[in-house]
Structure 1
C-alpha cells in the first residue's frame, strides 16, 4: 500500500486470452474464499460473471474481477514513458 504498483486488469470493451480454472466441488467454498481474499483487499475491482470461450470451443461462465473505472486507483491508458518508469 505504501508504494502502489500497476496491475493489468479487465476493462470495459476489451478481451484477453488466459486460463479458466475449474474448482473442485469438495473445496469450492474454501477456494472461492481464498480467491476473494486475494482479489478483493481493496475495492478496485467488481466481481462479474464473464462469458468465456474455451480453447475447445465450449462456452462457460467464469468469475472475473473487472476494474472499477470511477475509483482514483484506476490509471487508465498510460503513455509508454510513464509505464517504463513505473516498471523499471
Structure 2
C-alpha cells in the first residue's frame, strides 16, 4: 500500500500550484488563519522596501486547497515546494491534519509561519499592512497583485474574506495618492 502525499495551500498555491497532482479539493485547516504576517524581501518586496506575504498565523481556521500527489512524483514536488516556499526560510514545514470538502480527514504537508524568524511581522493593523503592500514590488511582481489574486481566487472558491477586501481598498487608495 502506498502512502498518500498531500499538500495544503492557502495562498498562491491555491491558484498556481506549479506541480502535477492527482486530486484537488477544498480543505480546512483548524488552529491557523491566513494573514499577511511575513515581511517579503524576495517575491513581493526587497530588503530596502519590504512588502508582505501570507502566512499561517496561530489561531482560527483557514480554507484552502489540498492536492494529492502521486508517490512517484513526490520527490520532485517536494523539492519544488522547498525552493518555492523557502527562499528565506520564513516558514516551518509541518505535518497537519485537515478536513477535505468530501469529509475526509487527512494528513498533509503545510508551511507554517515561523514566528521566530526576523521576517515575521506578527499581527499588524490593516493600516500598517496597507502601507507595506502599497508600492512594494519583488521578483514575482507588485505586492498588490498578490492581494488581488488572493481575493479573486478566494471568491472563485466561494470564500468572501471581508478583511482582505477592506485591505485591498486601503492599498488601492494609497497607491492612487502616490501617483
TM-score by length of 2: 0.46
- The SS at the match of 1:42 is coil
Q: Deviations over 1:29-78 (max 9, x none)?
A: 11111011111121211100010000011000110011111222111111
In structure 1, what is the Cα distance between the partners aligned to 2:52 and 2:89?
A: 15
In structure 2, what is the Cα distance between the partners aligned to 1:42 and 1:87?
A: 19
Aligned match for 2:60, one of 14, 30, 43: 14
Question: What residue is the counterpart of 2:115 in the other structure?
Answer: 69
- Check if 1:87 corresponds to 2:137: no
Matches within 5 A, 1:15-54: 15-54=61-100
More strand by share: 2
Any stretches of 5+ residues in structure 1 without a counterpart? none
Between structure 1 and structure 2, the one with the greater Rg is 2
- The SS at the match of 2:124 is coil
Aligned length: 88
Following superposition, the deviation at residue 81 of structure 1 comes to: 1.4
- The SS at the match of 2:64 is coil
TM-align CA RMSD: 1.3
More helix by share: 2
In structure 1, what is the Cα distance between the partners aligned to 2:74 and 2:127?
A: 42
In structure 1, what is the Cα distance between the partners aligned to 2:77 and 2:89?
A: 20
